[in-house]
Amino acid sequence: MKVFWGLGKVLTLMFWLVALVNLVEPLINPIDLLVNLAASLLLLTHLLEVLLVHRNLKGRPHPWRDRLQILLFGIFHLRTLSAPTAGEARHA
């Protein structure tokens, strides 16, 4: 399963690189609009993910680094975070 999450991170990073290249030098006409639309929807989704897990990240050693990685990779980073222990889950 770790291979799946790692491959997802690599593919997501490649998409963000394509989106940045598209901003600097736009691709051909219909594709540049689709890449921009997909990038903005993906960024909006990742921002919502950061807002939803904001409270859970406060106890982490480096919460801002986790937030940045969620903005870049989304669910692929969230799935690699450690789950809370049974005592913490019962308390919540």
8 Å CB contact between 62 and 72: no
pLDDT digits (tens, 9 = 90+) for 27-44: 888 899 999 999 999 999
Q: How far is CA 36 from CA 10, 18, 74, 82, in A?
A: 19, 10, 18, 33
Non-local (6+) Cβ contacts of 59 within 8 A are: none
Q: Any idea where the domains of the chain sit in the sequence? A: 2-82
The pTM for the full model equals 0.77
Per-residue pLDDT at 88 exceeds 80: no
